[in-house]
Chain A
Amino acid sequence: MRRVRGGVLVALVAVLATACAAGSTASAPPDPSAVSIGFVAEPANFDFTHTDGAAIPQALLYNVYEGLVKLDERGAIVPLLAESWTVSEDRTIYDFQLRSGVTFGNGAPFTAQDVKFSLERVRTAWTISLKSKMDVVDHVEAVSPTHARVVLARPSNNWLFDLTSRVGAMFTPTGVADLATTPVGTGPYTVAARNRGDSIVLRARTSYWGAKPAYPTVYLRYFRDPTALNNALLSNRIDVISSIAAPDSVPQFASDTRFQVIEGTTTGKVVLAYNNARAPLTDVRVRRAISYAIDRRALLDTAWGGHGTLIGSMVPPTDPWYTDQTADYPYDPDRARALLAEAGVPHPTLRLRVPNLSYAVSAAQVVKSDLGKVGVTVNIEPLDFPAVWLKEVFTGHDYDLSIINHVEARDIVTFGNPKYYWGYDSPRVRQLLAEADSGTEQRQVADLREVARAISADAAADWLFLFPNMIAAKKRVTGLPHNQVGESFDLALLGRA
């Protein structure tokens, strides 16, 4: 008995020792040609033509799939598979000069026929609702193998911008048989392996048309739990945290000499939504009063550790029509009280129905306390996100106030949709948005500036802050984007120190 027990003990110790020893040798010299990046949301599959959500384009766009144009870090539209393009006088005909010598991951050459195939396929084969972004396309012509012409039904600036997103991705007819598991694109990487619930392995293509990426192998690893994600970087399992999920974990990376912390902007606007269609918020004075009553600087410090940027409208600083509107509603509780009294509702009671996400719940506490000081009673109701929030607030419009991060780029256009959950309807804003879409680029900038001013003047919502882009990474990884402007985590930008 005693000897048996001893044997078991020795065996156990041996197993532990070899396992640990293997660990120290494995993690000591990290493979310099591979990089491992940690994310929170894992793609359900690889087919963004049928499955919505940010996770698939984040992993695949610009990395496996490429479009004619892409978005650079400053938010500008730059050439990718198109070397250049021209726009007709009436802004409905786009002529794209295509790069030659481009091939897909399955060896098929990329030509104007593929442009026609891909853009038309959005309308015929895609099922996600974003496909409506290509509704404006009248038809596509393959003029020559390197010349594609797109004819729009009406002029649209938004369309060219949308081409930088997933709906602009180029496919080949020979590579769409099994998009959910085998994506085939022209990008610098192909999917080499997938371990569901854990990771995706990307390998650089030898036949890629552009510059070779700095890392031949990339591991995209997925961690549902933010603490597990942080621990993975601290314990050398990954090299980069694509987005720090909780601001209170920033100091532990900033104070560690192994790491760098990069902070910039995103397109995520954390909005205190007002239900413009429901009394008493139908009264602009009540909405303005709330905007005056909230100390946004203090809110940002409390809710998100001071990380992030104050904005005064639905526009991040990376959009060309950004102007500083942070002074539109300075913190002024006296004025808020006066406005409420003027509107005849000095002590309204409002339901603040928020998704059960940490930033929303902490911001809700500050909103409740700030509004309490001016006589507004706020009842906070956290709702399960996404299911319940989408049903009750977003679809059902059953709310007075809500808080959510609007992550989509250039979604200022939602203020032109009276059926959107804002319940906001302004004929002038709709008119300006339509003009912005069809006019010249200068016109677009001028019009959207005007829209941003108008929705702020109407206090259509309160823009609490812009969500920060916070990346923590080992110092050897360079080229990480300061600003997250598009849908993609662009691996081609990365470099090795």
Chain B
Amino acid sequence: MLYQFARRLLILLVSLAVASVAVFLFLAVLPGDPAQVALGVNATPELLANTRHEFGLDQPLVVRYLRWIGGVCVGDFGRSYVTGDAVAPQVFDRLGVTLWLVGAGMLVALLIAVPAGTFAATRHRRPSGMLISGASQLGVAVPAFLAGVLLVRVFAVQLRLLPSGGWTPPNQDPVEFLRGLILPALSLGLVQGAVLTRYVRSAVLDVLREDYLRTARAKGLTPFRALARHGLRNAAVPVVTVLGLQLATLLVGAVVVERVFVVPGLGSLLLDSVGNRDLLTAQAVVLLLVVAVLLVNFVVDLLYTALNPRLRQGA
């Protein structure tokens, strides 16, 4: 168990190091001069040279990378080329917003997927079960941003029930905050929920065919109670794996959905900073996303073993 943990931790650290190099290189080779973008069309060559020096862009790539990663290790992500402010607080500010979005999206997805998937599995031969399977197939095919555009069209523009976008921090006005969260969370959650429904359905279906469940039924439990007591934990193993993968999809989906709903999260920060060649900010955001995905996978791996005792001996 401990060996397992150490091995996974080592993989995590190596992946992080490789990822940081990749993130740095990808953004460094983007065409365009950050100093020119920051200074605009009236910049003189002297001013450009000064600014490049100030940003450290006149240094070789290796030096720039080492400087950056050295700072990152002690929590200093540098200063934004555009705003001149420290990058870290800005990024963590935005992360908070995105986490609300991802969390709410995940909640919506689970609230849809667990009941709908279980229902569809227990009735997989009846029309109602098939209807849910069909509907989830449709949901899988709809990208989150399209769902967002449609939701805005109906609930904000036509019915005028909910805001079309924008963001109110929860501590400023909790009601407005919730109202603003509903549509983005729905557009993220509906699609993810549809995907997840299919996994929950097949996982539950597999479990339903197991001998121990038949035994439980034979003891006199109703199908639901048998599933609840003996089946769901087993069905959860594959679902948790997918959930981890989906968390990554949700983060990426949030980037797009934030644009549709004008939510000031990591996604909009990333788009803006890449457009402005605000490299340090963009690097910080991408690195953070990579770290989040790797961490989620790490935790999922650990959860996996916790949920399924059989895997503990395998190693």
Contacts and interface: CB of A to CB of B under 8 A. Distances in A.
A128 B40 contact: yes
Contacts of A12: 111
A235 B33 contact: no
A224 to B, nearest CB: 6
A387 interface: yes
Interface residues of A, number: 54
Given A53-B40, A227-B149, A22 B262 contact: no
Interface residues of B, number: 61
Contact of A180 (B36, B84, B175, B176): B84
Residue of B157, B164, B264 with most chain A CB atoms under a 10 A cut-off: B164
A193 to B, nearest CB: 9
Nearest to A407: B41
A388 B31 contact: yes
Interface in B158-186: 160-167, 169, 175-176, 178-179, 182
A392 B33 CA distance: 10
A224 B271 contact: yes
A15 B182 CA distance: 10
B44 A235 contact: no
A274 B37 CA distance: 23
Contacts of A369: none
A44 B83 contact: yes
Contacts of A45: 83-85
A132 B40 CA distance: 14
B244 to A, nearest CB: 24
B76 interface: no
B47 A129 contact: yes
Given A1-B228, A51-B82, A235-B164, A197 B37 contact: no
Contacts of B63: none
Contact of A228 (B111, B164, B275): B164
Contact of B167 (A53, A180, A195): A195
A384 B37 CA distance: 12
Contacts of B265: 197
B115 interface: yes
A345 interface: no
B162 A223 contact: no
A242 to B, nearest CB: 15
Interface in B253-296: 259-265, 268-269, 271-272, 275-277
Contacts of A180: 83-85
A225 interface: yes
A232 B165 contact: yes
A223 B258 CA distance: 11
A50 interface: yes
Given A44-B83, A394-B41, A221 B166 contact: yes
Contact of B264 (A1, A24, A26, A196): A196
B93 interface: yes
A387 B32 contact: yes
A23 B152 contact: no
Contacts of A223: 165, 262
B122 to A, nearest CB: 12
Contact of B182 (A16, A53, A198, A392): A16
A132 B39 CA distance: 13
Interface string A218-245: 0001111101100110111100000000
Given A129-B39, A228-B262, 16 more contacts: A19-B182, A20-B161, A20-B162, A129-B40, A196-B90, A197-B265, A198-B166, A198-B262, A235-B152, A235-B160, A236-B160, A237-B165, A386-B32, A387-B276, A390-B33, A390-B36
22 contacts: A20-B162, A24-B161, A26-B176, A44-B82, A45-B83, A45-B85, A129-B39, A129-B42, A129-B43, A132-B44, A180-B83, A195-B264, A197-B167, A197-B265, A199-B166, A224-B272, A231-B156, A231-B157, A235-B160, A388-B31, A388-B32, A390-B36
Closest 9 CB pairs of A and B: A197-B264, A387-B32, A129-B42, A235-B156, A231-B164, A52-B40, A235-B164, A44-B83, A234-B157
